[in-house]
Amino acid sequence: MFAIVMVTLGMGFVARSGASLVPAWGVDTHVFSTPFTGKVTSIGPLVASHDQLAIMATTAALVAVLFLFFRYTRIGIAMQAASQNQLAAYYVGIPVKAICSLVWGLSAAVAAVAGILLAPIVLVHANMGFIGLKAFPAAVLGGFGSIPGAIAGGLIIGIVESLAGFYLPEGFKDVAAYVVLLLVLAVRPQGLFGEGLRKKV
């Protein structure tokens, strides 16, 4: 698993480097306008842009769809089985290679949706994908394989980063997520919602 993660990160760096070499496109920052751009809603002292509200609504809908998919569909259950024990999944008739291909495709689709949602906020540039690296600490914190854990982990990482940016010197905000990652790995490696695996020897 670690090797796959490292290869994925390496391919991401290669893709970003290749995109940055494209003249008049790769090195520029582009504005991604939406029908919600520039519109805000005020509720008492709170002010929220329509872009942010659309992001929250779309994210909630996507999480609900993924939860139902993994909980109630045969393919979703097969994906969970293959992620926990590929050999056992193969023995019970699950096409592990095909399932892995579907997982990569689903991951790419979710990443594309995340990029579209993020673009109006951070603008479009070759290095905007670096923010995706913070998904790893959130997943570790919440527990791999747990959608509620991923939600809780993402919220906690976001709150920690905001507090670090407000109370700590400049630069600490960027490393706050990885400090949390190290603490979780030291104290509770399975995450908040993960279950420790036990093996009989």
Answer with the residue of higher pLDDT: 126 or 104. Answer: 104
- The confidence score (pLDDT) of residue 198 equals 56
Answer with the residue of higher pLDDT: 95 or 7. Answer: 95
The 3-state DSSP composition of the chain as helix, strand, coil percent (nearest 5) reads 70, 5, 25
Encoding tokens for residue 186? 């030291």
Domain edges within the chain: 30-125, 126-194
pLDDT in tens, 128-182: 777 777 788 888 888 877 778 888 888 888 888 888 888 888 778 888 888 888 8
Q: Judging by DSSP bridges, how do beta strands 40-43 and 46-49 pair with one another?
A: antiparallel
- The confidence score (pLDDT) of residue 9 equals 76
Residue 78's CB: how many other CB atoms inside 10 A? 20
What is the mean pLDDT of the segment spanning 118-122? Answer: 83
Q: Rg of the Cα trace of the chain?
A: 19
Please report, to the nearest 10 degrees, the dihedral formed by the alpha carbons of residues 74, 63, 116, 102 taken in order.
-20
pLDDT in tens, 64-117: 999 899 989 999 999 989 888 889 999 999 999 999 899 989 988 998 898 888
